[in-house]
Each structure stands twice: as C-alpha cells, then as structure tokens.
Homo-oligomer: A and B are copies of this chain.
Amino acid sequence: MLKPLGNRVIIERKEQEETTKSGIVLTDSAKEKSNEGVVVAVGSGRLLDNGETVAPEVKEGDSVVFQEYAGSEIKRGEETYLILNVEDILAIIEK
C-alpha cells in the first residue's frame, strides 16, 4: 500500500457513468474524469512554522469532491490512484 507524505491524501476516483442521460454508451476516451472519490489513505498533515503538525480534516473512507485537474496519478498494479494535497479537497460528501 501507499502511505502519503505530509499534507497529502490518496484518493480512489469515483467511476464515471458509462452512459449519458440520453442513454448513449460512452467510450473510455469520451469520459471526463470525475472529481469525486473516496479517501483511501491520509498523510501526517500540514507542518506549521512552529513545528507542530495539523492533521488533515478528512479521514479514510470519506467521500470527497476535489479541485479538477489537481494532484498526481500513480498506478499500483491494476489500480490508478490520485495523490492530492488536502488543500485541493473542496468538500466532504455527507450522506
């Protein structure tokens, strides 16, 4: 598994719908990437100038919406994950 460093989290991106509202099946290249996902790992947090660390406001299992185009994708085996700065997470999706 991956353990993110500092103020980063690892996200498993939500799959996009395979069909549009009007029922058209989308090929892979036509699909826009979702900016929603689930947090799968959380770093130690943000290091302040006084030497303290502030833990991220999200935790494993949280569904989140994040800034489009933010972060770096990394592949582990078959899976692709997104590594994000916590600052790029806009909101938690609560049920």
**Could you tell me if B90 and A83 are in contact, using CB atoms closer than 8 angstroms?**
yes
Most buried by B among A3, A35, A44, A49: A3
Which residue on B lies nearest to A71, using beta carbons? B90
Interface size on A, residues (CB 8 A): 36
Contact of A91 among B5, B50, B52, B58 (CB under 8 A): B5
**Could you tell me if B54 and A52 are in contact, using CB atoms closer than 8 angstroms?**
no
**Could you tell me if A6 and B87 are in contact, using CB atoms closer than 8 angstroms?**
yes
When distances are taken between beta carbons in the complex, the residues of chain B under 8 Å from A79 are none
A interface, CB within 8 angstroms of B: 1-6, 8, 10, 35, 41, 44, 46-52, 54, 57-58, 65, 67-68, 72, 74, 76, 83, 86-87, 89-94
